[in-house]
Amino acid sequence: MKINPFIFRNYDIRGKAGEDLDADKVEALGKAYGTFLRKRKIRQAVVGRDCRLTGEEYQQALMRGMLAMGIDIIDLGQIMTQMMYFSQYRFQTNGGVMVTASHNPSNFNGFKIGIGYSKTTEEEEVQELLRLIQTEEWFESDYEGSVVQEDVSEDYYHDVLKRVRLKKTFKVVFDPRHGTSGPFMMEILKRAGIEVIGKNLEVDGSFPEGTPDPTDAHVMGQLREAVLAEKADIGFAMDGDGDRVGVVDGDGNILWNDVLVAIFAKEILERFPGSKIIYNTLCSQVVPAVVEECGGIPIIWKTGHAFIKSKISEVGAAFGGELSGHFFFNDNAYGHDDGSYAILRILEYLSEKNVGLSELYASFPKFISSPEIKIGCADDKKIGVVEDLSKKFKADFPAAKITDSSVIPGDDGVRADFDNGMVVFRYSQNGPYITVRFEATDQATYDQRKVYVREMLESYPDVVWEDELVVNLDALT
């Protein structure tokens, strides 16, 4: 079967619904994944979906393909991604698929594919699935699989809530932006004894208020307004499938998620000094500074939930986190990204310390940091642009500490660290765009770096400034 190879990314599969993906292509993916599982003597899988408009159609098509390969399926229905991971443990199966495009716009869809407990595909496995679809070399099963439907909500609520104890209550604003997490998180927060004010709770896969992306300054700005208007202690936003989080403190400050990586690291290192903490290349220098100050070992790694999870497992880290809002707790949880648990862990730590989030942040080193800026660039152009840009970048900053593929095998960009901040360019694993971020310890240097980044990007005709995937462009003006 012919299929766009560019939607088979380094750890997920994502493309435009009705263009890159349709029911026939998704059914072929189901056959490919079923073949993948049967080769490994796995005969059962859990399958769920987020609220995207094509989600149910694609889930049914995917399951048809898997059933034809003899895979027994536990249909989880519409859930958050972390509930799919949880269900692997609940039903004791290595197989699992979540039909989701996470933070991509509503006209996208995709698949997070399990290959073990909490473990998802990386590049080699994704390319194996692509080859199977292209060659149609399916497993020859002598029987059809079966389907049973299960509602894991209550089991999940019990599991996530048993892991935390709040010593005080909070007034919280929660905004899922019409994503999948609305009803689940409202129930969890209420059961935790939290006074919660919900915004944009109606689940609507067309995302009428815009793409639910907690790295988008527009999304977080609206959350900030709600927190201030309600005089809340804290505000939380989530992405479309609920595994990523964004936070605003009670003073209305938007805390980009690398600050939360540092906060979680501090909390864990108070209990487990000397632990390893994984963070991705887009994170501020505040992360290694806080980790080292707290007696931990910071390890920078390439961006992507699958890569961070693998690195945590490889080195035995207690925690890992990304600027995007994926947080991985390996001290008292399963080690996969779970936005629900991350929210509860923030509240638990604040209740234990009896402080507000702004007070906690005030003790950290200060950086002026841009948000995560996403600029359009075609999938067949973005790697070449970033590779060329990296050469210029390293030539312009010969004294900087450079992190690229020579430091992290397979890294998708280049980062320069200075005594007073950093600059990073990388191509996305999730779509046709380039990601940029920069920071400094003073405004003048920050402004200089902003001009440098903008002029560098403007020098490439393949960079697309107006596109549905462009986010936080205002940060370059």
> What is the DSSP track for 267-319?
HHHHHSTT-EEEEETTS-THHHHHHHHTT-EEEEE-SSHHHHHHHHHHHT-SE
Tell me the sheet residues that pair with 402: 416
Distance CA 146, CA 96 (A): 15
Residues in the chain: 477
**Residue 102 is a catalytic residue:** yes
* Active-site entry in 87, 102, 106, 275: 102
**Residue appearing with tokens 């201030």:** 228
Are 37 and 113 in contact, with CB atoms under 8 Å apart? no
Report CA-CA distances (Å) from 271 to 264, 274, 318, 330: 11, 10, 11, 13
DSSP code string of 59-119: HHHHHHHHHHTT-EEEEEEE--HHHHHHHHHHTT-SEEEEE--TTS-TTEEEEEEEEETTE
Look up residue 317 and give its two tokens.
């880290």
Residue 136: CB atoms within 10 Å: 11
> Distance between CA atoms of 4 and 110, rounded to whole angstroms?
13
Helix, strand, or coil here: 395? helix
Residue 112 backbone phi and psi in degrees, to 5 = -105, 125
Provide the CB-side half-sphere exposure for 431 (13 A, CA): 22
* Nearest CA-CA partner of 99 in 135, 45, 158: 45
Alpha-carbon span 328 to 317, nearest angstrom: 10
Active site residues: 102
